[in-house]
Amino acid sequence: MLNDIFIAPFVDMVEAPDFLMQVLWEGLVSGILYALIALGFVLIFRSSRIFNFAQGIMVVFAALTLVGLFAMGVPAWISVGLTLGVMFVLAVVIERVVLRPLVGQPDIILFMATIGITLFLIGFGETIFGGENKVMITEELGIPTGDTVLEPFGGLLILQHLDITVVIVATLLVAGLLAFLNYTQMGRAIRALGDDHQAALSVGISLQTIWVLVWFIAGIIALVTGIAWGARAGVSFALEVIAYKALPVLMLGGLESITGAIVGGLMIGILEKLFEIYWGQPLLGGNTETWFAFVLALIVLLFRPQGLFGERIIERV
């Protein structure tokens, strides 16, 4: 028993390094996608203290809109542009209709409101585009679909071109986002709002504009994530489950930290794959991916209640 838990999995890893690398690679790719969802979330949380549960559904909604527009006969790249437009309108509407009347309410009320948004978007998306599973328009967008086979240590390592593209695009997106936050006026305004609402307002930063902006950025991130996940798993509201995966990522990384979202996403993506393959399937009957990330994050939180990179919680009476 102890052997099965503490020794055998590591022996397996060393004996088949190519398989281990394959597992790590797949963990890395899903980790990047978790990180992307968590990133959209962190941006909104930092600037408005809203725990945006709808981030996951925005991913699905964006992907659905894209596929739906294409199915209506709009050329692929134009539908990407139109989808971005839809996400912008969505950001404006959410800010105007939902957030503005609820400013200053307790956190849990705003959290509930985002769950309301989630339900609304599910119903709305299904009403307009239908509830059935759809195929992402991978080829029309010019995303490569083949694979490269490497042979390290005399074994096999299969890298899907799609996954490589996802890694590159995600890295570029994150780099662009960081540059935007650090070097443009708008980006600095977002960060200022994250640090202190009142101070930011007093130097003339418009809360409403910034909120629309962060929701729009979250929408862009959602679209990229939606294309990537959609290409791997098809587009349907079952994708919603990946939204839940972003939550332990946030918890692990800390709700306010952009670095935390990225590191947390990669860690969870890789560790949950390793655990599933080497411990979950042989010992626990598999499908441990549903809860492993949460339990891992819970254990980390017991030692660091604000997450790995979160702001230190200071309480005063």
Partner 1 sequence: MLYRTAGQFKSSYVADQALFPVRQDAILLTIILIFGWVIFPMTASEFTFQTLLIPILIYALAAMGLNILTGFAGQLSLGTGAFMGVGAYACYKMVTLFPWMNPIIAILLSGVFSAGIGVVFGIPSLRIKGFYLAIATLAAQFFLVWLFEKWAWLYNYNASGAIQVPNLEMFGVFVSGPQAASVTEYYIVLFVVTLLTLLCINLTRGNLGRTWKATRDMDIAAELIGINLMKSKLTAFAVSSYVVGVAGALYVFMWKGAAEPNVFDIPLSFQVLFIAIIGGLGSIMGNYLGAILIVGLPVVLNVVAGTKVFEISAPSAILLVALIAAATFLFWVARNLWGVGAALGFGVVTLVYGYAQLQGFRIDSALIEHINVMIVGALIIFFLIIEPHGLNQLWRLIREKLIIWPFPH
Residues in contact with partner 1 by CB under 8 A are: 51, 97-98, 101-102, 105-109, 111-113, 115-124, 126-127, 131, 244, 247-248, 250-251, 255, 284-285, 287-288, 290-291, 294-295, 297-298, 301-302, 305-307, 313, 315, 317
DSSP type of residue 312: P
A 10 A CB-CB count for 310 gives 19
Element (H, E) at 96: none
Q: Which structure tokens are listed for 47?
A: 């600037």
CB of 130 to partner 1, least distance (A): 8
CA distance 181 to 189: 8
C-alpha dist (Å) from residue 112 to 9, 52, 99? 42, 9, 12
CA distance 290 to 300: 18
Which among 24, 46, 114 is positioned nearest to 260, based on CA atoms? 46
CA distance 199 to 196: 5
CB of 58 to partner 1, least distance (A): 14
CB 210 within 8 A of CB 187: no
CB of 191 to partner 1, least distance (A): 21
The residues facing 148 across adjacent strands are 159
Q: Inter-axis angle of helices 240-253 and 55-71, to 10 degrees?
A: 140
Cβ distance to partner 1 smaller for residue 113 or 222 = 113
A 10 A CB-CB count for 227 gives 26
Q: Is the dihedral of CA 75, 80, 82, 83 positive or negative?
A: positive
DSSP type of residue 204: T
A 10 A CB-CB count for 171 gives 12
A 10 A CB-CB count for 197 gives 15
Q: Which structure tokens are listed for 45?
A: 């949380």
